[in-house]
Amino acid sequence: MFLSVFDMFKVGIGPSSSHTMGPMVAAARFLDKMRAAPFHYGGLRGSLHGSLAFTGVGHATDRATILGLAGFLPDTYDNEKAEAVLAQIRETETVTPPGLPELKFHPKDDLIFDFGPNLPGHANGMILMATDLQGDVILQDTYYSIGGGFVMTEAELAAGKNTDEGDPVPYPFKSAAEMLEMAETSGKTIAQMKKANEIARGGPENLRSGVARIWQVMDDCIERGLSTDGILPGGLNVKRRAKGIRDALIDERGTNLNAPHKINDWMSAYAMAVNEENAAGGQVVTAPTNGAAGVVPSVIKYWLEHVPGASEDRIEDFLLTAAAIGGLVKFNASISGAEAGCQAEVGSAAAMGAAGLCAVLGGTPAQIENAAEIALEHHLGMTCDPVKGLVQVPCIERNGLGAIKAVSAASLALRGDGTHLVPLDACIETMRQTGADMSEKYKETSLGGLAVNVPNC
């Protein structure tokens, strides 16, 4: 099993990897399918199902789908250009994707929110259709946005998770137990094994430059969030808080008011800065999702800014270790809030952050596995119940608490020798089972929990 560090950490846009980035990617894939087929097209249609329908407006799913059908992609997204294209589509009721003719598309009529039963493959389903000049459907495919910006067609999903058609990698672990066994046999760290796998697929320069870009985008996102105040869009009138927290912490430096627990406020400020940017539709990195995008960057920033001896030279080890853990969670359970609740998003992110921090603080593979397990275990059962379908409440603060848990988990693991009762594999399987048992109203539909007990205005 191989999932690249660049699968787990993808540059994209807010507010949601599964509800914004995924539909945009799905639309781009459908355009590719259209270009490859020998048809004469006249128009486009689509329908959103399950969680994509119930919380799609709050997550800008309709906007993302329309832009995807116009040729936009998350990693090269230009907001100013996007606004101009959207205005043109509304005015002309047509869309002109690159390499295709002008196509009829009326956003209000041709993109339907279907609030009926979920499509069979996943809670985040969408159907895209191309029509001929008479309006009859001549090409159609079903896509599932399975979390973290990953998209699969109906056929790909039916083929199963254990599908990897790339070149063999030297350390193809599918479980934490296999990972630890390979580490012991090889004498390598988790980061070293993951690095060898990445180089086998993409080469050393691709890894070096790609990791540098990932951290740069993460850090830029933190800094933008720490420098921006105001009200977040969407109608809840949620005030940005990261800048105010950071400014207050700076003002209190050099006084006798600095209680040790204030380090938690720094971690929360870093994480909230990212998720406030995400909620505003800014550029973020999936880590492993947009809804949990603040945890890993916050832990890295905490380590660099507050831990003696930290160095940016080790960020690669941090991200490689985190990606190894995230890959195990995704392969054996889920990173999708719509599939397994927020335990799959912030819980996974906390496990990744804990593992990465433990690694750069000198933890052994066994201690790293322990750190990830502690962090994930104490998110088990966490629901995904965003108020008004927006990635704001409780999501923004939840990332701050996820970062704090990640650091605490790494610290606890480093106090031991890696021996512990609950294996990470058992914890991941428990998360999968808990997600399967969880009521649908607590899985990113905004039909239960805080979403129905907090006024939406």
pLDDT band at 3 (very low <50, low <70, confident <90, very high): very high
pLDDT for residue 258: 81
DSSP H/E element including 96: none
pLDDT band at 166 (very low <50, low <70, confident <90, very high): confident
In whole angstroms, what separates CA 359 from the centre of its chain? 22
Peptide bond into 297 cis (omega under 30): no
- The tally of CA atoms less than 13 A away on the side-chain side of residue 212 is 7
More confident position, 451 or 159: 451
DSSP reduced 3-state for 284: strand
pLDDT at 257 over 80: no
Q: For residue 376, what are its two tokens?
A: 């994930």
pLDDT band at 456 (very low <50, low <70, confident <90, very high): confident
Residue 117: count of CB within 10 angstroms of its CB: 8
All CATH 1.10.4100 domain ranges of the chain, comma separated, are 176-453
Fold of 17-159: 60s Ribosomal Protein L30; Chain: A; (3.30.1330)
- Rounded CA-CA distance 13/279 in Å is 10
- Rounded CA-CA distance 307/325 in Å is 23
Q: What is the DSSP string of 218-247?
A: HHHHHHHHHH--SB-SSSS-PBP-HHHHHH
Q: What number does CATH give the domain 176-453? A: 1.10.4100
Average the pLDDT over 207-223 and give the result. Answer: 98
Average the pLDDT over 274-299 and give the result. Answer: 97
pLDDT band at 399 (very low <50, low <70, confident <90, very high): very high
Q: What is the DSSP string of 331-369?
A: HHS---HHHH-GGGTHHHHHHHHHHHHHHHTT--HHHHH
pLDDT band at 415 (very low <50, low <70, confident <90, very high): very high
- Rounded CA-CA distance 349/372 in Å is 9
Find tokens 């890959």 and name the residue: 327
Average the pLDDT over 276-285 and give the result. Answer: 96
What are the tens digits of pLDDT across the range 316-355? 999 999 999 999 999 999 999 999 999 999 999 999 999 9
pLDDT for residue 255: 81
Number of separate helices (H) and strands (E) present in the chain:
20, 9
pLDDT for residue 160: 78
What are the tens digits of pLDDT across the range 341-352? 999 999 999 999
Do 277 and 14 contact (CB within 8 A), yes or no? Answer: yes
- Rounded CA-CA distance 348/375 in Å is 8
pTM: 0.94
pLDDT at 453 over 80: yes
Find tokens 């196509």 and name the residue: 103
- Rounded CA-CA distance 401/295 in Å is 8
Q: For residue 402, what are its two tokens?
A: 């996820």
Residues with Cβ within 8 Å of 313's Cβ and at least 6 positions away in sequence, in order, are none
Share of the chain above pLDDT 70, in %: 99
pLDDT at 162 over 70: no
Residue 238: count of CB within 10 angstroms of its CB: 18
pLDDT at 161 over 70: no
Range in 88-97, 198-207, 226-235, 252-261 the model is least confident about: 252-261
What is the chain's mean pLDDT, rounded? 96
pLDDT at 315 over 90: yes
Average the pLDDT over 176-190 and give the result. Answer: 98
Q: For residue 439, what are its two tokens?
A: 């009521």
Average the pLDDT over 383-396 and give the result. Answer: 97
All CATH 3.30.1330.90 domain ranges of the chain, comma separated, are 17-159
Positive or negative, the Cα torsion across 375, 378, 382, 388? negative
Find tokens 């003719």 and name the residue: 101
- Rounded CA-CA distance 142/128 in Å is 6
pLDDT for residue 457: 62
pLDDT for residue 209: 98
pLDDT at 373 over 90: yes
Average the pLDDT over 234-261 and give the result. Answer: 92
Q: For residue 142, what are its two tokens?
A: 């079903």
